[in-house]
Structures are given as structure tokens and as C-alpha cells.
Amino acid sequence: MKPTPSKKLSSLPPYLFVRLAQLKRQAQDAGLDVIDLGQGSPDLPSPEHVVDALKKAIDDPSTHRYPNNLGLPALRQAIAGWYRRRFGVSLDAETEVLPLIGSKEGIAHLLMALLEPGQGVLVPNPCYPVHYNGVVLAGGKPILMPLREENGFMPDLRKVTPAQARASKVLLLNYPNNPTGAVLPSNVLLEDALAFSRKHGCLVAYDNAYSELTFDGYKAPSILQIPGALEHAVEFHSFSKSYSMAGWRIGWVAGNADAIANLSKFKGFLDYGIPGFIQQAAVAAVEGPQDYTVRAAATYERRRDALVAALSDVGWTVPTPRATMYIWARLPKAAQKQGSLKFCERLILEHGVVISPGVGFGPYGEGYVRISLIAPEARLEEAAQRIGQFLSAKKPWLAKTA
């Protein structure tokens, strides 16, 4: 017997970063020195005091037992304290905070916990893949809201039809935005989203994973700062980006108590929560000195500036984002016809530079690529030089095309 995948799974293409990893291995097997700027996996080490807290916690035998899927009370309280200090938001640590095995897991499981088969979710596009894939795997129907460059990569809620609004149970938003790097110029979109929620009865799920990676003096808001948000919204956050703890697999969700209770109940059937020693280290992260996040943001800002300048030197003008760890760039004009996937495949296999095709973030991402700032300036500049060689070759993107 050959087990067959469900229709939901079959409807999805292979995960973008799995495909990029395969191409990377091919390039390495061919002897290329690969510069991987694909996945948003921080290359900075986790904070030293957090690592020390983990080492201490792992020697405590109590952390070797099953954790509680609600999370350690100390961690929930620490997250609530972080919100109070960072955003001036008061949360009930018992009912309005839930630690997660990464925000990606939490977003997908929230959708599974809330959606009935065929129910709609308003999803900006391009988007972080789980925003779309999580809806499909939950049996829901993604309703795409285009993010266009001319609108600052902001969705237009006025273009959601009455039928789409009635069909939707969740409205997803993500700023600072992955993959585009867009930031909110004001709180108007958040206020509009909450007004939309009140009118149509859907939950606003706000992915705020990049709130601490901001540049040029910009400070990202929390949707929970908006009056009435706790009645209509939840916000996801990640230790992966703020504290370079991607491999630790820990995040959280905060906000509407009913939504969190439903997510917690759902997770109770599937997992035992986060290992206790990781949770104790996470307490050290949010309660300890926050200068690490300031230094990390400054590092990404320097890298941004170096890469933007280096790409300009080879003839590719790209935007200068005010947040995240990505540059979202329109393909060079001559490469537009071949598309982002072909461009990235050739760049990896021929020049050993891994970047992400925009189409991997959804149909409205076609014509763009995402470049992650996950290497020191010298390697970014080397990557730009290789990209310049690729672009200066005689129509390299047209070769070997059917």
C-alpha cells in the first residue's frame, strides 16, 4: 500500500525553503562556495545571558519532565511585563498570553482551531507562507488581498466585498512585513482592521514578529495598543527574530482571551508545550537587558546599507527598507519575462548565491525576489558582485529555457 496525501496537502506545492535547500546542495556538490541569503534564519548568536540561563535550567531535573502546554507561569508573566514596558499594554498573564513552539506553529494551529471547512481567511499576498498554507491545511479558503508597491504594500480593506467579509472568520495582517519589509506609516490600518472586525465579526490575527528589527528611528506598534483590540485581536511574536533564537523554537501569542483559550485547547490534543529549560531561558530573554535587540537591529541596518550600496554599484537599484531582515526587490527589467523562480534557480546553480523567488510568497510576489541580511557585510558585498556578474552576462536568464 502506498499512502496518499490528503487533498489539502496535495494542493500545496513543495515548501519554498525546502526547494531552495535542494538547489543549495546541488550548487555545493558542484563545488561552488554558496552564500545563502534565502531563509530568514538569523546568523547572529543568541544572547549570552540567555544561553547561560538555558545551561543552568537544563541541569534542573524538573525541566526534564513533560511541560504544561499553557506555558510556565513565569514566562507568561514575563511576556505580559514585556508588553507593559514596550507598548504600555496591560495583559492578564493567565488568560491573554500563551507561549508557542514558534509563532509559525501557533498561527497554523490557531487556524485549525477556529476554521470550519471552507471558511474564509483574508490573507495579504505576498505573505509569509504559513499565512496561506496554514489556511489551506486547516481546510479553510484563503481570500487574497493584494499588496502592491504603489500602495506601500498595504491591503485595501475597502476592496473586500460584502460576500468575502461575510465568509471570513479571520483577517491576517503582518507589519513590519515579511517579505516586503513594509512598515505602517501610522496606526490607521490597525484601526481600520479593528473596525472591520467589529462590523463583520472576524478575528484579527496580527503577526508582529519583526517589531524589534527596525531602522532609521522607526518604532513598530502593537495592534494591542489600539483601544478595544483585546476584544477583537491576537498578536503573534517570535523569539527567533528579536533574540536570534530561531533554533530554539519558541514564540507567543497575546490578546483576545477566547481565541487563546481555543488555541490552547487545540494544542492540548497535539503537543505538551515547550521544554521547560527553553521556557526558563526565554524568561531571561524578555526580562533581561534588551540592549541585545538594539545591537541586532543596528547590525541588520549596517548590512542593509552595505547591500543596497553594493547592488547599486552593479546596476541593480533596490529599496532601502525601514524594518525586518530582508530586502524586497523588483527583478531587473530584462529578467521579468523569465520570472523570479528561474532567476533564482540560475543564480544559485551558476553563481552560488541563494535568494528567494517572490512567487514563493504567493502570486502577487511574482516579479520580485527577497534577499535576507543573514551574512556579514563582506559576504553580502561578495554576493552583490556575483549578482553583478550574472546580470552582466549576455542574457543569462534566457539560456537553457524551453
Tell me how far apart the alpha carbons of residues 79 and 285 are, in angstroms, rounded to a whole number. Answer: 10
In a domain, 73, yes or no: yes
In a domain, 12, yes or no: yes
Which residue(s) pair with 125 in the sheet?
A: 146
What's the grid cell of residue 241? 527574530
Last residue of some domain: 272, 287, 302?
Answer: 287
Tell me how far apart the alpha carbons of residues 224 and 234 are, in angstroms, rounded to a whole number. Answer: 8
Q: Does residue 221 contact residue 238 with C-beta atoms inside 8 Å?
A: no
Tell me how far apart the alpha carbons of residues 171 and 201 are, in angstroms, rounded to a whole number. Answer: 10
192 shares a domain with 59: yes
Last residue of some domain: 245, 262, 287?
Answer: 287
Q: Does residue 119 contact residue 167 with C-beta atoms inside 8 Å?
A: yes
In a domain, 146, yes or no: yes
Last residue of some domain: 262, 287, 312?
Answer: 287
DSSP string, 102-162: -HHHHHHHHHHHHPPTT-EEEEEES--HHHHHHHHHTT-EEEEEE--GGGTT---GGGS-H
Q: Which of 201, 260, 195 is nearest to 229 (CA)?
A: 195
What CATH code is carried by the domain that includes residue 212? 3.40.640.10
Low-confidence ranges of the chain (pLDDT < 70): 394-402
Q: 17-62, pLDDT tens digit by residue?
A: 788 889 899 999 999 999 999 999 999 999 999 999 999 999 999 9
142 shares a domain with 162: yes
In a domain, 397, yes or no: no
Tell me how far apart the alpha carbons of residues 380 and 302 are, in angstroms, rounded to a whole number. Answer: 11
**Under DSSP, is residue 277 helix (H, G, I), strand (E, B) or coil?**
helix
In a domain, 28, yes or no: yes
What CATH code is carried by the domain that includes residue 388? 3.90.1150.10
272 shares a domain with 251: yes
Based on the structure, what is the number of domains in the chain? 2
The answer, yes or no, to whether the previous bond of 319 is cis (omega within 30 of 0) is no
**Under DSSP, is residue 185 helix (H, G, I), strand (E, B) or coil?**
coil
71 shares a domain with 28: no
* Structural domain of 358: 7-45+292-392
Q: What is the largest CA-CA distance in the chain?
A: 63
315 shares a domain with 180: no
Tell me how far apart the alpha carbons of residues 170 and 200 are, in angstroms, rounded to a whole number. Answer: 10
281 shares a domain with 250: yes
183 shares a domain with 312: no
125 shares a domain with 15: no
CA 208 to chain centroid, in Å, comes to 8
- In which residue are the cell numbers 524551453 written? 402
279 shares a domain with 296: no
158 shares a domain with 36: no
User: In whole angstroms, how far apart are CA 294 and each of 29, 239, 297, 306?
Assistant: 38, 14, 5, 19
**Under DSSP, is residue 348 helix (H, G, I), strand (E, B) or coil?**
helix
In a domain, 205, yes or no: yes
In a domain, 239, yes or no: yes
Which residue(s) pair with 330 in the sheet?
A: 368
pLDDT of 10: 86
Q: Which of 250, 262, 284 is nearest to 71 (CA)?
A: 250
115 shares a domain with 34: no
In a domain, 400, yes or no: no
- H-assigned helices in 16-115: 16-29, 48-58, 73-87, 103-114
Buried/exposed code over 294-323 (b: 16+ C-beta within 10 A; e: otherwise): eebbebbbebbebbbebbeeeebebeebbb
210 shares a domain with 195: yes
Residue 32 burial (CB < 10 Å; 0-12/13-18/19+)?
A: middle
